[in-house]
């Protein structure tokens, strides 16, 4: 059932009409893209067109786009595809990076969740002195707080010490400009369903000179980088959504203004609320609100019952909520009391108003119950 108010775009954006139409059209193409007959060539054309569209989205090379099952697989391919490397990741990466390599070394962050470049340089120096090859992985924008990382500066350090660098840009595309050349990165992970494409399709885009060992074997697809028949319909939808990314960026200021109004009105009503990373650069659509004393899961459920879809500030898997490692690394006092509100181009001022009303009523009810308990 569709929620009356959907404010969980960082989890997944609604599929847009162009992507839906591309998926439906591709489903009518019977051929396998690896087949040489006419039907196969038609399927191959769909894949090749989408490959160019996805590459253009990050100013990459279409020949170096590797389609995957999503951002998680793209991150796993990046971290495991280079042989004999030490992996350094920021401590606030997405679980698909954190859990991809149990032996990865963590780079600390400050109280705003921004990577400590001094700590990174110290780690790179130690690796160089030990004769180790290194891969650095730093996300462009955090999925929970929206914090934008200094990826280009981290990349300059990586290059100085002869290391490769990977960037998880899944949350960033469509919200801030993403240019592989300007970021100076060797690999970028992206995902379709964050930008209005279908779920279950993503890509890893690599720079010249990056040679990866395939993690899924059994076919020559994706130039022997990732085996398996291509998800033609998903790829078509991804390409269509990628082609609209520049248009999404034109709405960025409007989305930021709505987010700022939401935060200002919440703070006026409940000054005890903490807004994670408010004092640093972050995505204009993302707000991580911490209401001391009330579990984030309770807030999510209460809002859901009132018809407002948000998420907790913690990573969720199969309906289970875990305390946010991101907020813990930032030193937040009550990480379990966080919720994430994330807006999209379709978000209206009326929806912002409804969130504020429902959330304020929830907080007011909690305060009244607290006063009643103290008086008893």
CATH number at residue 234: 3.40.640.10
- Going by pLDDT thresholds of 50, 70 and 90, the confidence category of residue 337 is very high
Full domain range(s) for residue 326: 5-13+251-375
- 222 and 236 in a single domain? The answer is yes
Q: What is the pLDDT of residue 3?
A: 56
Rounded mean pLDDT, 37-55: 98
- 212 and 136 in a single domain? The answer is yes
Query: What CATH number is associated with residue 276?
Result: 3.90.1150.10
- 25 and 105 in a single domain? The answer is yes
- 27 and 45 in a single domain? The answer is yes
44: β partners: none
Residue 199 CA: distances (Å) to CA of 15, 38, 186, 278, 299: 9, 28, 25, 30, 26
Q: Do 139 and 169 contact (CB within 8 A), yes or no?
A: yes
Residue 272: alpha-carbon gap to chain centroid: 28
Whole-angstrom distance, CA of residue 57 vs CA of residue 301: 36
- 38 and 187 in a single domain? The answer is yes
Those residues whose C-beta lies under 8 Å from the C-beta of residue 363, and which sit 6 or more positions away, are 269, 270, 291, 294
Residue indicated by tokens 């279950």 = 200
Rounded mean pLDDT, 322-338: 91
- 191 and 219 in a single domain? The answer is yes
SS3 readout for 252-284: HHHHHHHHHHHHHHHHHHCCCCEECCCCCCECC
| Number of domains the chain contains | 2
- 293 and 185 in a single domain? The answer is no
Q: What is the pLDDT of residue 52?
A: 98
Catalytic residue (choose from 127, 167, 288, 316)? 316
- 213 and 145 in a single domain? The answer is yes
- 109 and 140 in a single domain? The answer is yes
Strand 202-206 to 338-342 pairing: unpaired
- 273 and 317 in a single domain? The answer is yes
CA angle in degrees (0–180, nearest 5) for 317-279-139 = 45
- 122 and 169 in a single domain? The answer is yes
Rounded mean pLDDT, 286-298: 96
Q: What is the pLDDT of residue 1?
A: 43
Note if 288 is an active site residue: no
pLDDT tens digits, one per residue of 347-362: 999 999 999 999 999 9
Final residue in a domain of this structure, among 218, 247, 276: 247
pLDDT tens digits, one per residue of 99-128: 999 999 999 999 999 999 999 999 999 999
Final residue in a domain of this structure, among 228, 247, 266: 247
Whole-angstrom distance, CA of residue 143 vs CA of residue 130: 34
- 183 and 221 in a single domain? The answer is yes
Q: Do 332 and 338 contact (CB within 8 A), yes or no?
A: yes
Final residue in a domain of this structure, among 186, 220, 247: 247
Rounded mean pLDDT, 167-177: 97
Give exposure, 144-168, as e/b (b: 16+ Cβ within 10 Å).
bbbbbbbbeebbebbeebebbbbbb
- Going by pLDDT thresholds of 50, 70 and 90, the confidence category of residue 319 is low
Q: What is the pLDDT of residue 372?
A: 77
Whether 376 has a pLDDT exceeding 70, the answer reads: no
């Amino acid at each position: 059932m569709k929620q009356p108010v959907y404010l969980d775009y960082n989890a997944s954006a609604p599929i847009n009409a162009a992507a839906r139409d591309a998926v439906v059209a591709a489903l009518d193409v019977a051929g396998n893209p690896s087949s040489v007959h006419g039907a196969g060539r038609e399927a191959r054309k769909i894949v090749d067109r989408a490959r160019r569209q996805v590459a253009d989205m990050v100013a990459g090379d279409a020949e170096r786009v590797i389609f995957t099952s999503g951002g998680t697989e793209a991150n796993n391919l990046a971290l495991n595809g280079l042989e004999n490397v030490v992996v350094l990741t920021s401590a606030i990466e997405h679980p698909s990076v954190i859990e991809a390599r149990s032996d990865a070394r963590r780079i600390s962050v400050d109280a705003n969740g921004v990577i400590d470049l001094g700590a990174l340089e110290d780690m790179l120096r130690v690796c160089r002195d030990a004769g180790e090859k290194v891969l650095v992985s730093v996300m462009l924008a955090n999925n929970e707080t929206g914090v934008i990382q200094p990826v280009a500066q981290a990349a300059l350090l990586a290059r100085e010490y002869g290391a490769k660098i990977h960037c998880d840009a899944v949350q960033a595309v469509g919200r801030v400009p993403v240019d592989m050349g300007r970021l100076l990165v060797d690999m970028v992970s992206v995902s379709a369903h964050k930008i209005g494409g279908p779920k279950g399709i993503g890509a890893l885009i690599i720079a010249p000179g990056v040679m990866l060992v395939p993690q899924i074997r059994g076919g020559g697809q994706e130039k022997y980088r990732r085996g398996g028949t291509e998800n033609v319909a998903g790829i078509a939808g991804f390409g269509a959504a990628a082609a609209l990314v520049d248009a999404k960026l034109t709405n960025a200021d409007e989305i930021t203004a709505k987010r700022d109004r939401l935060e200002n009105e919440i703070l006026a009503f409940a000054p005890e609320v903490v807004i994670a990373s408010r004092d640093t650069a972050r995505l204009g659509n993302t707000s991580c609100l911490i209401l001391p004393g009330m579990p984030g899961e309770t807030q999510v459920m209460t809002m859901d019952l009132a018809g407002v879809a948000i998420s907790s500030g913690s990573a969720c898997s199969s309906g289970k909520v875990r305390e946010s490692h991101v907020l813990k690394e930032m030193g937040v006092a009550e990480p379990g009391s966080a919720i994430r509100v994330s807006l999209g181009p379709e978000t209206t001022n009326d929806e912002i108003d409804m969130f504020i009303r429902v959330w304020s009523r929830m907080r007011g009810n909690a305060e009244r119950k607290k006063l009643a308990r103290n008086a008893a």
